[in-house]
Structure 1
């Protein structure tokens, strides 16, 4: 007797109409294609989502504001080419602190800030003995104390420090000539320049026997006044230095100028320097 399970299966399927084999195969192929198309669509959707996210991120990066450009600090006018600038290591601590600190409160200066040295800050024709005439120029040849240092065997520091502006005055007479150079610094650098002058005189090692530099007199006038004497290649020379505030004057005087005569010149020079500085 047949098993009951098989009997029931026979009765259930006895009246079913089965599709031909070829029809079954065609339906199978259609189902496979639909599965593949669905998978491809799913991949395309995923790629689109990723691409949209990348575009959003890129947009956010592009929207970042650019960094501000660096501030351009205006440069100051060039100093006189005959004067060496101050090396950075030469700046005094007190001077650096004053430059970087906030402005202090107080009464405003009676003179507007200016880097230019007025003509009235140099000696005038009325200050000199009869016979002199004012001329144009910066002196005949190398007359400054700096030029004398080339006859020293050792290396010496530059004389002027932090020069901001320069003015010359020259006077001629039938028998002599006088020239003055006035330089503007900060007051601290003006003090340093006077110290450099003393160091040059004291430290110079003459290259030839008979050459010499020496300080002949001090305290002659202004905030600081010094008379320097020298003899280079048998030629005597006199230099007068006077500081008033942030101005320093160097003069070439007659080689026979005495300390007393230099004191009179120094007083005149100091008084004239007041026209270019508020230190008076």
Structure 2
């Protein structure tokens, strides 16, 4: 007995009308062509979308400036280097603004001037009589007025006020020696230092009956010039002080130097001090 499934299939298809083989093949070819056309159209649409998107992105890239490169900032030894972005146009001055800030001829720069005293601001060998030679280094004895003031009975103020720098010069001859100290102060402190010279001389109370300090001459040269004479522990001395601007020179002269000789040296000292100050 035939299987029931085949019996039902025979019954359902017994009266069906089948299309010719050639017709079936023609319909299959039509479906294939439609599928191909639809695929081509889909690809074309996708390409168009991508192209228009790329154009839009390219337009945005052209309108937006590129990001500035990062700048590596050098660090101190042992520290990790850091990376900081290049300053933006708002925080960085334009080339025109930068050039306008650069110092031009006749305009002082923002860098503070050097406080060092140049060698040319002291006396030179050409300023001294024949027979002198420049000595190397400082002399071993303290020849300054400050050392003499230590022998006074009373306490006196410091001679040098607010000294910022100093320079020494020492000259020797077979029969004498000459020493100079130049100190730099502020303008006001330089004036005060010269006042201290006069105060020390006026206020000193000698520790011994034969000790003495006195002003021998004033107005000798420069902005201010004073010759001080003294005898401490039986040793006579002469000290010449000359101020030019913010520089003060103290010179140890021969103990027999007269006011006229001191005036000659004071003018030489004042001219030399002009090398180290703008006050001249």
TM-score (norm: length of structure 2): 0.60
**Pair 1:119 & 2:119 matched:** yes
Deviation at 1:249, TM superposition (A): 0.2
Considering only aligned residues, what root-mean-square deviation do their CA atoms show, in Å? 1.5
Deviation at 1:145, TM superposition (A): 0.1
Deviation at 1:137, TM superposition (A): 2.0
Q: Which has the larger radius of gyration?
A: 2
SS in 1 for 2:275: helix
Alignment of 1:43-82 (within 5 A): none
Instruction: Please name the residue that 1:151 is paired with.
Output: 151
Instruction: Please name the residue that 2:165 is paired with.
Output: 165
Deviation at 1:150, TM superposition (A): 1.4
**Pair 1:240 & 2:240 matched:** yes
SS in 1 for 2:257: coil
Deviation at 1:135, TM superposition (A): 0.8
Deviation at 1:138, TM superposition (A): 2.3
Instruction: Please name the residue that 1:180 is paired with.
Output: 180
Query: Residues 197 and 185 (structure 1 numbering): CA distance in 2 closer, same or farther, change over 3 Å?
Result: same
Deviation at 1:108, TM superposition (A): 4.3
Deviation at 1:264, TM superposition (A): 0.3
Q: Deviations over 1:115-164 (max 9, x none)?
A: 10000000000000000000122234010000001110000000000000
Q: Point out 4+ residue stretches in structure 1 off by more than 3 angstroms.
A: 107-112
Instruction: Please name the residue that 1:272 is paired with.
Output: 272
Is 1:109–1:278's contact at 8 Å kept on the other side of the alignment? no
| Alignment partners' CA distance in 1, 2:120 and 2:219 | 23
| Alignment partners' CA distance in 2, 1:213 and 1:140 | 23
Deviation at 1:112, TM superposition (A): 7.1
Q: Deviations over 1:150-184 (max 9, x none)?
A: 11000000000000000000000000100000000
Give the count of matched residue pairs.
174
Alignment of 1:1-280 (within 5 A): 108=107, 113-280=113-280
| Alignment partners' CA distance in 2, 1:232 and 1:173 | 24
SS in 1 for 2:274: helix
Is 1:211–1:234's contact at 8 Å kept on the other side of the alignment? yes
SS in 1 for 2:249: strand
Is 1:239–1:251's contact at 8 Å kept on the other side of the alignment? yes
| Alignment partners' CA distance in 2, 1:148 and 1:213 | 9
| Alignment partners' CA distance in 2, 1:166 and 1:114 | 13
Instruction: Please name the residue that 1:41 is paired with.
Output: none
Question: Please, which runs of 5 or more residues in structure 2 have no aligned partner?
Answer: 1-105
- Greater relative contact order (Cα < 8 A, sep 6+): 1
SS in 2 for 1:154: coil
| Alignment partners' CA distance in 2, 1:178 and 1:149 | 20
TM-score (norm: length of structure 1): 0.60
| Alignment partners' CA distance in 1, 2:108 and 2:178 | 33
| Alignment partners' CA distance in 2, 1:239 and 1:171 | 15
